[in-house]
Amino acid sequence: MARTPIVGGNWKMFLDLAGAVQLATDVRHRLGSVRGVEVVVFPPFPFLKSVADRLAESAIGVGGQDLSSETSGAFTGAVAGPMLRSVGCSHVLVGHSERRSVFGDSDEMVARKLAAALAAGLKPVLCIGENLQERQKGETFSVVTRQLRSALAPYAGKTDALADLVLAYEPVWAIGTGLTATPEQAQEVHAHIRQEIADLLGKSFAAALRIQYGGSVKASSAPGLMQQPDIDGMLVGGASLKAEEFAQIVKFRQAN
Ligand code: PGA
């Protein structure tokens, strides 16, 4: 089954307004009419509207880096899914490892945020992945299985709700460290994830589901990762802050 690759640029807590608009302008210039690959950028909240305006009517989508599990109310500092929609977001990251490890989002909270994203009509990119200690103890598969089940088990038999779901496997030890998983290491986990999804949500859903790899992806490592049968895209942090390198990553086929 052909799965359209999807590449995300996670701008994290970098840039200022002028820098974000400039980056969006540069990314649009290089990728605004790209075909055959879906591209989404995830700017910090205060820049979303300006970036979405800058990318309007281009092929590039815009997403939030997180969302509240709540729809509205007295939740100081939080941002709700409908708010993201109203400033032009199509996508949202859910359960990024920095939200889990720095901000304490539990598996249960991630599941609630996923439900909130779907209720708001946002396309969720659900992030999972083990940390270094878990990998060293041989717990990689059990950790990603736990994370997948707690977020996705409620949708067994109800996969229509997950039509726009994308997964991102991001080994925490590879994020921002310069340590990319080898294509073979990543493929091994991606294949496990797809099998788990098949068991949980059915074979045809699993076959169509896109699973991104994330963690120190560079223009030089993108083609090798994308050659793996179960890697359907990349979620890029540091390298997405440079329009030229991000464009090279999106155009990974041309580097082959
Ligand atoms: P990195 O970040 O590419 O800088 O490792 C990836 C991510 O956190 O999504």
Q: Which of 38, 96, 130, 134 is catalytic?
A: 96
Give which of 6, 24, 5 is closest to 240, Cα–Cα: 24
* Residue the block writes with tokens 């969302």: 67
Residue 180 covered by a domain: yes
Strand 123-128 and strand 166-169: the pairing is parallel
Q: Is the pLDDT of residue 107 over 50?
A: yes
Distance from chain centroid for Cα 217: 13
Q: How far apart are CA 6 and CA 9, in angstroms?
A: 10
Give the pLDDT confidence score for residue 1 in this predicted structure.
Answer: 60
Q: Which of 98, 130, 134, 170 is catalytic?
A: 170
Domain count, the chain: 1
Distance from chain centroid for Cα 104: 19
Mean per-residue pLDDT of the chain: 96
Residue 27 covered by a domain: no
Q: How far apart are CA 207 and CA 224, in angstroms?
A: 21
Q: How far apart are CA 3 and CA 6, in angstroms?
A: 9
Give the pLDDT confidence score for residue 126 in this predicted structure.
Answer: 98
On whether the CB atoms of residues 124 and 154 are closer than 8 A, the answer is no
Q: Is 215 in the pocket of ligand 1 (CB under 6 A)?
A: yes
* Residue the block writes with tokens 């941002």: 79
Q: Is the pLDDT of residue 96 over 90?
A: yes
Q: Is 237 in the pocket of ligand 1 (CB under 6 A)?
A: yes
Q: How far apart are CA 239 and CA 193, in angstroms?
A: 25
Q: Which helix (H) or strand (E) holds 123?
A: strand 123-128
CB burial class (10 A; 0-12, 13-18, 19+) of residue 133? exposed
Q: Is the pLDDT of residue 173 over 80?
A: yes
Give the CATH number of the domain where residue 117 resides.
3.20.20.70
Give the pLDDT confidence score for residue 178 in this predicted structure.
Answer: 81
Q: How far apart are CA 43 and CA 152, in angstroms?
A: 26
**pLDDT category of residue 145 using cuts at 50, 70 and 90:** very high
Residue 248 covered by a domain: yes
Residue 103 covered by a domain: yes
Q: Is the pLDDT of residue 160 over 90?
A: yes
On whether the CB atoms of residues 135 and 171 are closer than 8 A, the answer is yes
Eight-class DSSP state of 95: S
Give the pLDDT confidence score for residue 195 in this predicted structure.
Answer: 98
Residue 200 covered by a domain: yes
127 bridge partner residues: 168
186-214 average pLDDT score: 98
Q: Is 68 in the pocket of ligand 1 (CB under 6 A)?
A: no
Q: Is 175 in the pocket of ligand 1 (CB under 6 A)?
A: yes
Residue 14 covered by a domain: no
Q: Is 170 a catalytic residue?
A: yes
Tens of pLDDT along 35-93? 999 999 999 999 999 999 999 999 999 999 999 999 999 999 999 999 999 999 999 99
Give the pLDDT confidence score for residue 33 in this predicted structure.
Answer: 85
pTM of the model: 0.97
199-218 average pLDDT score: 97
Q: Report the separation in Å between the CA atom of 27 and the middle of ligand 1, taken as the mean of its atom positions.
A: 18
Give the pLDDT confidence score for residue 177 in this predicted structure.
Answer: 86
Taking CA atoms, 130 is separated from 81, 141, 144, in Å, by: 27, 8, 7
Q: Is 192 a catalytic residue?
A: no
Residue 114 covered by a domain: yes
Residue 210 covered by a domain: yes
Q: Report the separation in Å between the CA atom of 53 and the middle of ligand 1, taken as the mean of its atom positions.
A: 25
Give the pLDDT confidence score for residue 256 in this predicted structure.
Answer: 47
206-219 average pLDDT score: 97
Q: Report the separation in Å between the CA atom of 151 and the middle of ligand 1, taken as the mean of its atom positions.
A: 21
% the chain with pLDDT above 70: 99
Q: Is 217 in the pocket of ligand 1 (CB under 6 A)?
A: yes
Task: State the residue range of the domain holding 110.
Answer: 62-69+77-255
